[in-house]
Structure formats: structure tokens, C-alpha cells
Amino acid sequence: MLWVRLSPEATPAAPALADAVPAGWHFCRTLTVNTPADTVRAALAQRGLIAEAASGAWRGQLDGVAAAALVLDAQPRLAFVHLWTDAAPGSLAMQALHTAARSLRADIEALG
């Protein structure tokens, strides 16, 4: 993952990624949302994902598919959400997660 610090308000270093994404999981997609990272975190919590204190990753199910979300605040009103899953690339579960991600983006932007 690339860490970019575009704003003085952003964290000066990347969060620790040890154990953030389980071995063998696959990258799904990155959401770019025009909202503060705290709004993203609130939307993830509303969806039932739980923040892991050690890694900073949010884990749980998005529309029945296991997912890990890494949230990066780039600017005060710009955040990135990197989604990972145990679903195989091209599988129905991966396709379902892509659909869930579009819905998640709409929920995040509605909160923001």
C-alpha cells in the first residue's frame, strides 16, 4: 500500500499494517470518498465492522462477504478505503463485495 500525506492534519506516518490483512486475502478495491475519515469509520461501524486496536483495520462482513477495510485520511475532507477479502478474484463473493462497496460509498457520502 502506498502512504501519501497530502495534508498537515493527516497522520505523519502510515498505520502499522502488521496483521491488518490476513495472509492469503485478496485486494478488492479502493474507495475514494469526499468526506472526513471519521465519517468513514462511523459508516463502517454502522455496517457492523469492528476496528482492531492493534492494526487499525476494520473487519467484518459486508453483505455477507468477509472484508478488511484500511482507512486513510488524506485531507480533512478526503479519505481512502482499501478493501480486502478472502474471496477469490473473479468469484461471486468478490463480485458481491464490489457491489457492497458501491453501496458503502453511497452510505459514507450520505453521512458526510
Q: Does any domain span residue 8?
A: no
Q: Where are the beta strands (DSSP E) in the chain?
A: 26-33, 50-51, 58-62, 65-75, 78-85
Q: What is the pLDDT of residue 3?
A: 54
pTM of the model: 0.82
Quick one: CA dihedral 11, 28, 93, 112, positive or negative?
positive
**Cβ(66)–Cβ(73) below 8 Å:** no
- pLDDT tens-digit profile of 55-73? 789 999 999 999 999 999 9
The CATH number of residue 107's host domain is 3.30.310
Domain count, the chain: 1
Cross-strand bridge partners of residue 27 = 84
Domain that holds residue 83: 26-111
Q: Does any domain span residue 62?
A: yes
